[in-house]
Chains A and B, each alone.
Chain A
Amino acid sequence: MFILRNIVLLTLTAVPTSLLAQEAPIPAIAEACASCHQLDRSEGNTAHAAPPLFYAGNKYRQEWLEQWLQAPYRLRPAGGFFADHVITEDGIDSVDEASLQDHMAVDSSKAADIADWLMSLTPMDDLLAASSDYQPGSVSPRMGAMDFVKFKGCGGCHRDTPEYGGLSGPELYTAWQRLQPQFIVSFIKDPRAWNPDSAMPSRGLNDGQIHKLADYLKILTNED
């Protein structure tokens, strides 16, 4: 019995925590999420309908999740995967607004429970830890905007104000409120290490360049 128990303990300690996290069952309260979001790392995200959530606890800020779930607003002007929401006429693409679905809203109690559960999904701790040396800093709005739009070209796909920027990527003027700073840095460094289906390329930027972009997202929120 003693030997058997030790074998079980050894086996459990040998299994990476990420695998244990994947095996956790989806609670009833979050079952509806699975119709659009990838909740299990092994599922793949080929449908592109919505961002994968299996690493939500490594990505989002809990207070933002709770508020957003009660009053969701559109983060991706062209939906989860832009090509599914585009109409082409005479070679010109435009967003097919009628094809975009609004996210369901839930009451405050449900929002708190779902946010709690989502924040427990942290299979990417190691990847996130690789960006732990980022200390949010400051950048002048003018220089930050110039870097974001003209030098790095991020504005081609992302909006840094409600009026300015591309449509295929999520808007970034609320990014600092919704995302953990280390996630922002890690995702810019290698988007497909997080989501292999992301349409965002890794640019091969160094840490200093990435930190500057993250600092620009910070000042967009007017937070100290």
Chain B
Amino acid sequence: MNREANIFLNCLLGLALILTLGMSAALEAADAEQGRLLYRENCAQCHGLEGSGKGINAPHLEVAPRNHTDYEEMNARTNEELFKAISEGGQAVNKSVLMPNWGHTLSEEDINNLIAFLRKLCCEQ
């Protein structure tokens, strides 16, 4: 590998590290209680008040909403993937178009709060 390619690769790795650390820092500061309130207002209509994926709209959807209490499923998703799914919608992560993009409505802080709540819901039993 020549020197320029090496520098380019190192820059990419550095950038990825900065982004990952940035996301981790944002999540550390996130407020799961705020996330719970946002979840009730916005997500529970499809994902259910308890996050089981069985909200009041679920029987009328052609694709079942994600069960957010499923440890295996949720543990297999990174925080970055969850952020992308919420912000850009299901289609952006090769999932259902029925999951809307919330990035025009919720702030980055809101979405990080939601992810903090989702992590409690799925994985802190």
Residues of chain A touching chain B, judged by Cβ–Cβ distance below 8 Å, are 78, 82-83, 86, 88, 91-95, 149-153, 155-157, 164-168, 191-192, 197, 199, 201-204
Q: Contact flags (1/0) for B33-67 with A, using CB distance below 8 Å?
A: 00000001110111011101011111011100000
Top 3 A-B residue pairs of the complex, sorted by shortest distance between their CB atoms: A91-B52, A166-B57, A168-B45
Q: Using a CB-CB cutoff of 8 Å, which residues 1-55 of chain B contact chain A? A: 40-42, 44-46, 48-50, 52, 54-55
Q: Are the C-beta atoms of A92 and B105 separated by less than 8 Å? A: no
Contact among B61, B69, B99 for A166, CB-based, below 8 A: B61
Interface: B77 (CB within 8 A): no
Q: Which of A93, A164, A165, A204 contacts B49 (CB 8 A)?
A: A93
Pair B61/A156 contact, Cβ less than 8 Å: yes
Q: Given contact pairs A93-B54, A168-B56, A201-B100, enumerate 6 new A-B contacts (beta carbons under 8 Å).
A: A82-B56, A83-B49, A153-B96, A157-B46, A166-B60, A168-B55
Q: Is the CB of A150 within 8 A of B97?
A: yes
The contact string, 1 if C-beta is below 8 Å from chain A, for chain B 77-114, is 00000000000000000001111111111100000000
Given the known interface contacts A78-B56, A164-B60, the answer about A157 and B104 at a Cβ–Cβ threshold of 8 Å is no
Whether the Cβ atoms of A156 and B60 lie closer than 8 Å is yes
Interface majority SS (helix, strand, loop, mixed), chain A:
mixed
* A153 and B100 contact, CB distance less than 8 A: yes
Q: Is the interface of B mostly helix, strand, loop or mixed?
A: loop
Q: Do the beta carbons of B57 and A167 come within 8 Å of each other?
A: yes
> Are the CB atoms of B97 and A166 closer together than 8 Å?
no
In the complex with contacts A168-B56, A203-B100, A192-B49 CB distance below 8 A: no
Bound CA span A26–B62, Å: 45
CB distance from B104 to the nearest CB of A (A): 4
User: What are 17 A-B contacts with C-beta separation under 8 Å?
Assistant: A88-B49, A91-B48, A92-B52, A93-B56, A157-B46, A164-B60, A166-B57, A166-B60, A166-B61, A167-B56, A168-B46, A168-B57, A191-B105, A201-B102, A201-B106, A202-B104, A204-B103
Given A167-B56, A168-B57, A88 and B50 contact (CB-CB distance below 8 Å) = yes
CB-based contact B60/A204 at 8 Å: no
* Given known contacts A168-B45, A201-B102, A203-B104, A91 and B54 CB-to-CB distance under 8 angstroms: yes
A165 to B56, CA, bound (A): 11
A86 x B46 contact (CB < 8 A): no
Across-interface contacts of B101 in A (CB, < 8 A): 201, 203-204
